[in-house]
Each structure stands twice: as structure tokens, then as C-alpha cells.
Amino acid sequence: MNISQNKETRATFNKNRIETLTDGVFAIAMTLLVTGLDIPKLNGIAISGNVDTIHLNLFPDFIHYIIAFALLASFWWASHLRSHYLPSIDSKMIFLTITTLLFVGLIPFSTNLAGDFPLNTHAVIIFELNLFIIGILSVLQWNQILTDTKRFDSDTDIRVLLMNRDESYIFPVLSALAILLAIVSIPLGIMIYLIVPVYLVLVWLKDARSHTVKEKPAHKSI
């Protein structure tokens, strides 16, 4: 009895530590994104030219900032959902999570690179490839959770897990399409990510509607 319990303890770990690390890395990456919105400077002095021209030059950086921030928010939310279903975390999930955080930490760099060189195909593809890898790792984490359903609570709806896993495919698919489109047209490859904010709003509305239905008191029949 004690031996089996010890084996189970060695196989799984408390999820609070990895949740704290995940939240910290995502928070830092999302904060560092804004550093890519630099006002053009010459010899350390801000250029006092036409403000409209400066805004126009910053437009690619701003678009990449919005896309990267929305995607990081989506990946963080998916990580939060996955953690909700697991009472503890095993070594495979720790490896997938740490690997994901590795590429999350690269997002500010790849975002700044694509924003500073918006017409360079290689720079844009590096940004999109970074997002593609994180999307694939997110799908793998959902699949890892689904391979160990016996650890779930009895009231866990596996259909909801499958739906969340299927919805996570949208991110690597969009990134793969963006890479292909960038070879033909860089603006098209970037603009396809504008689907993500719309997707997030639709998911939020769906969740809000489902919570409203659950909280609505049932009418007693007379």
C-alpha cells in the first residue's frame, strides 16, 4: 500500500509550482511585447518630425503587438483550462509545459523582429513559426491530458475536453496558413491572425452564455 503510494507520488507532482512559473513567463512575455513600440530615435534623441509619419512607421509593430498579445492570452487561457482538469501534473506534462514556455519567452524577440522588418519574408516567417510551435505544443498537452482520463473527477465531461482540444487546432492551422501566405504576400500572412481576436470574443460569449444557463434557477412545476 505504502509502496504504491510512493510510486504515485514520484510519478506526479503538485501543479501549483508549474502554474506559478507559467503565469510568470506569460506575464513577462506579454509585458515585454510593448518594448517593440519604440519611437524612432537618432543618436538617442527622439525625432521631432511629423507625428503622423511616426505613427505610420509604427503601424507594423502595433499590428504584430496586437496579434502576439492576443495569441499569448489565448495560450495562457488554454494552459489555465488544462490545469483546471488535472489534480496533479506528471513528468511528461512538465516537459511539454517547460518546452512551451521556452518558445513563449521567444515571442517578444520574434514579434520585434517581424515588426522591425515587416517586408522581410524570413523575419515574418520566424514570427509565425514561433507561434506555430507553441500551437502544436498546446495541442500535444491536450492530448497528453486525454491519455490519462482515469485521474479526472467523476463529474468531468470528457466531451468538453475533446472540444477544447479540437479548438486548440485553430492556432497551429492559422500559423501554417500564415507561413504559406507570407511566401506569396506578407500582409496576407499577418492579417489572417486577426481572426484570433474575433475567435476569442466568440469563445467568451459562448462561455458567458453557458454560465448564464447553468445559473438560471429551474422553475418549479405547479
Residue 143 lies in a domain: yes
Pick the closest to residue 132 from 175, 103, 192 (CA basis): 175
Reduced to 3 states (helix: H, G, I; strand: E, B; else coil), residue 13 is strand
Q: Residues 175-187: what's their mean pLDDT?
A: 88
Whether the predicted model's global pTM rises above the 0.95 cut: no
Q: At what angle do helices 158-168 and 51-85 cross, to 10 degrees?
A: 150
Amino acid 51: pLDDT = 62
Amino acid 133: pLDDT = 96
Amino acid 222: pLDDT = 42
Q: How far apart are CA 176 and CA 183, in angstroms?
A: 11
pLDDT in tens, 160-171: 778 888 888 888
Which residue range is the domain that position 150 belongs to?
A: 2-213
Residue 178 lies in a domain: yes
Residue 222 lies in a domain: no
Q: Strands 45-46 and 89-90: what pairing?
A: unpaired
Bridge partners of 12, per DSSP, are 90
- Of the chain, the percentage scoring pLDDT greater than 90 comes to 25
**Distances in whole angstroms, Cα of residue 84 to Cα of each of 81, 89, 153:** 5, 11, 11
Yes or no: say if 115 and 60 are a contact pair by the CB < 8 Å rule. Answer: yes
Yes or no: say if 146 and 159 are a contact pair by the CB < 8 Å rule. Answer: no
Residue 22 lies in a domain: yes
Residue 221 lies in a domain: no
Residue 123 lies in a domain: yes
Residue 15 lies in a domain: yes
Total count of domains within the chain: 1
Residue 219 lies in a domain: no
